Structure 1
């Protein structure tokens, strides 16, 4: 089962084909097969700030 790469929570919403939103820590992330490929923090104004430098390595984050 899919879990948040940040808080490991299961309370996720699907916002796109391979995009999800975590209701626990308010981040959006995209997956490709079994790896997280993009992670964003949703700001108060609705804009997104990349968190890839914190979560994405060369091999990706396993979910």
Structure 2
């Protein structure tokens, strides 16, 4: 089961192919080449990247699944 790298919750919903939403901290996660990309949804609906807050190891697919 996927875990959010930001709040560590497992309360993740699927938005589409390789696209997820964390109900714990309200961020969007996109899985690309085994690495999660995190985005904050702004009031106008645009996305702001949160990738710079986490190193790539924290965003790797195995880490997201608790491996």
Q: TM-score, normalised by structure 1?
A: 0.77
> Is the 1:18–1:31 Cα contact (8 Å) retained in structure 2?
yes
Q: How does 1:48-63 map to 2 (within 5 A)?
A: 48-57=47-56, 59=57, 61=59, 62-63=63-64
- Does 2:46 correspond to 1:20? no
Distance 2:46 2:55 in 1: 20
Instruction: Point out where structure 2 has 5 or more consecutive residues left out of the alignment.
Output: none
The answer as to whether partners of 2:5 and 2:58 remain within 8 angstroms in 1 is no
- CA drift at 1:25: 0.5
SS at match of 1:15: strand
Structure 1 runs of 4+ aligned residues shifted over 6 Å read: none
Superposed CA RMSD in Å reads 1.9
Question: If the length of structure 2 is used for normalisation, what is the TM-score?
Answer: 0.74
| Structure 1 unaligned regions, length at least 5 | none
Structure with greater helix percent: 2
